[in-house]
Amino acid sequence: MDFFPELERIVVDKGTCLCVGLDPYFTREERASLGDAECLSRALEANKRIIAATSPYAACYKPNAAFYEAFGAEGHSLLEKTIAAIPEWIPFIYDAKRGDIESTGKAYADAIFGGLGANAVTLNPYMGREIVEPFLAYEGRGLFLLCKTSNPGAGAFQGLDSGTGKLYETVARTCVSWSERIGLVVAGNDPSALACVRAAAPYAWFLAPGIGAQGGRAEDAITAGARKDGRGVLVVAARSVAGASDPAAAAASLRDQMAAIARKITAIGPRNFQGFTASVAKQVAGPNTELKDRFVAGLLSTGCFRLGEFVLKSGKKSPFYIDLRRLISDPAVLGAAAEAYSSLASGIGFDRLAGIPAAGLPLATAAGIRLAVPMIWPRMPVKEHGTGNRIEGACVAGEKVLLLDDLITTGASKLEAVEILRGESLVVEDLVVLIERGKQGRRDMEAAGIRLHAFLHVRELFDSCERQGLIDRTRREELERFVDSE
């Protein structure tokens, strides 16, 4: 199989740019409780089920090395059995992120292309061109080099000014000059970066992670990153497909969303393509650093974010405390919050805002005024006297509602609001918050079919504090370790 030509054929014939991740993860506690043998058995069963369900909709598959290496030799056996379950006409990308030179690089290439028989691999180009040469020695194999990654801290290095743009733009131009068999890993949750990298590498294939659990949307990634023919972006979906109650339906839905955007791109013609992608990328791009820093400064000045030692409701001690109800005490900071919500909402179609009581109500009011859209709110608990309204404010069944709250840790209160709104025949598909703390909230929203859009992850809040000299690196790392332990 000649990877990139075959990929082009599959994308055209099947009408899909979907890359399905095969990432079986078990926590240490689960491994201790179940035992490795049971975990491995469940992982293989799950992988086979996902492959069988999604093969009509997948352009390729992507097993991540870490999840298999964690089990040692038995994990390697699991990987081989998983690869054997992939239909031979569907390629797979081994997500290894390797990168070394000389004999070490050759050994990596022999293991991945010679041993596993991978059709393509992800590599880290930090050491330069020498790292790709052992892999290019295998004819017909594809390489995806890390360019702009999807994690919150990616900008620390990748966003540096290289003199000719951002560092990741320089990486893109340089790497694709090495071979036509090189693609790029570009964050699917960063449309502005996708558009910039597409300008730097007009013909390269992109592997775009960050969809679903990391906040990215498939349609945004295709819109911002596609080539003029509507192709060129492999959208990676792992948890959003594997964790769905119906993986086949989830994969089919993603395929259809991407196909619709691709048709729109090809319909407008090459002449208008650049303006179209730049315009939409601007609409869906995340908020800029200046606004984030301004907002964080406001959180500190109003006491909404404080460092120290605090006892949480759970009884656990925390080195920081967030209370966004205090935003209303400063009109300028409240205005910055409204601006933040506006930036999140700009790429979402909706008829009304719905603020979640109580902290979300003044914030939704401020955002509604800035966006010039009407607002409603669900009664929580439901009103038992007077009119007995479940929803305050005018609305019509079938309207699409954008749910709004201050922050998210878990999905409990959000799900209560969703139940009330959907109970009144309103459509709820998206939630916007100022701050995301931890991972559970996003999982809860995904399970309910809600896309979460967060202005800041709490880690970015720490990064902003460090940039402004409010904390040092050691303090930031302490805060991050606490968040990781929650």
If you search the block for the tokens 């959000």, which residue do you land on?
414
Instruction: Give helix 440-447 / helix 412-423 axis angle, nearest 10°.
Output: 20
If you search the block for the tokens 């497909």, which residue do you land on?
241
Q: Using an 8 Å Cβ cutoff, are 22 and 82 in contact?
A: yes
> What are the residue ranges of helices labelled H in 226-353?
239-242, 247-268, 270-284, 289-301, 331-345
- Is 81 known to be catalytic? no
Collect contacts of 460-465 with beta carbons under 8 A, ≥24 apart: 460/152, 460/292, 461/296, 461/299, 461/305, 461/435, 463/152, 463/153, 463/156, 464/292, 464/293, 464/296, 465/296, 465/300
> What are the residue ranges of helices labelled H in 166-205?
167-176, 191-200
Q: Rounded to 10 degrees, what is the CA torsion of 219, 446, 54, 84?
A: 120
The sign one gets for the Cα dihedral 134, 126, 124, 31 is positive
* Residues whose CB is less than 8 angstroms from the CB of residue 26 and which lie 6 or more positions away in sequence, other chains included: 34, 39, 43
CA distances (Å), 407 to each of 189, 315, 410, in order? 19, 20, 9
Q: Using an 8 Å Cβ cutoff, are 202 and 227 in contact?
A: yes
Distance CA 96, CA 64 (A): 6
- DSSP, collapsed to helix, strand or coil, labels residue 235 as strand
Residue 318 DSSP label: E
The sign one gets for the Cα dihedral 160, 150, 178, 271 is negative
Catalytic residue of the set 48, 81, 97, 264: 97
Q: HSE, CB side, 13 Å, CA atoms: give it for residue 283.
A: 16
Which residues carry out catalysis? Answer: 97
